[in-house]
Amino acid sequence: MAIKRIGIASRCDKPEIIEMVRQILDRFSSKVKIFVSTHTAEVLGIEGIPVEKMRGEGVELIISVGGDGTVLRNIAKMKDPLPILGINMGTLGFLVDVEPEGALETIEEVLYGFSYIERMRIDVFLNGKMLETATNEIAIMSAKPAKIIQFEVYVEDCLLDSMRADGVIFATPTGSTAYAMSAGGPIISPRVNAIVIVPVAPFKLSSRPWVIPSDSEITIRLSAPKKEAVIAIDGQTSYRIRPDDIVKLKRSKFPARFVKITDACFYERVQRKLT
């Protein structure tokens, strides 16, 4: 085997997911060293290790068993993400390429060597302090349901737009097929280094989606007094922001990495997922 150490991280709330993890362990434990994430290991009654410590143990790739949310959570735990191989135990699955029925055979092939593609991520700063890094998107929404917020978006200190809207989404090409697409944004090829900015239900008809270079520094300021907002990162974590807060977004130097298992065209893959 070319690969000597792998990790497994999964959702733990579905019996079929735990069963898939057991099958992987039964099939490959004699061939490679397998490290299992802490929560998954607890369900299995074995010793585990946090995902964020797997790189230090020499793990070369992580098998993520679940859906897109599981993949995003696993990536978020790592400062410099290891390559991810996603097994689709969720629903749509844009970030998980392997279906359960072909999972063991695919893993067998990958263990002899693999290549991966890199996807840009975005570092999120609040008042100069880094919060997290987003793989899909950053969404800024009103802290009160059914209320609009007013905010200004600057790109490299140049005012892009002053908006009144339910919110705004800043998405990577990976995230362009997620929340941003649902809000009317364009689908961006992963080969394009860009950030898409999508207003959510804007009050002005002139507030339209933008596609800007990925190396741009973006600044967001709330402009209505006494109105708070929420910044959500990859739909996983959220933080309150006030009118005097400053949010900045910058391209991360640590990309997400996805194991390449097929030569399928990106455009055909999107059409297949959305059909």
**Strands 5-10 and 194-200: what pairing?**
unpaired
Active site residue 123: no
Say how far apart CA 77 and CA 86 lie, in whole Å: 16
Active-site hit among 26, 68, 161, 215? 68
Q: How far apart are CA 89 and CA 123, in angstroms?
A: 28
The number of beta carbons lying within 10 Å of the beta carbon of residue 211 is 17
220 alpha-carbon distance from chain centroid: 21
Q: Distance (Å, rounded) from C-alpha 50 to C-alpha 118?
A: 23
131: burial class by Cβ within 10 Å (0-12, 13-18, 19+)? middle
Rg (CA), the chain: 20
| Angle subtended at Cα 126 by Cα 121 and Cα 127, rounded to the nearest 5 degrees | 140
Q: Mapped to the 3 state alphabet, what secondary structure does 121-155 carry?
A: CEEEEECCEEEEEECCEEEEEECCCCCCEEEEEEE
- Only one residue has tokens 């200004």, namely 152
Beta-carbon contacts of residue 240 (< 8 Å; ≥ 6 apart): 143, 228, 229, 230
Q: Which residues are catalytic?
A: 68
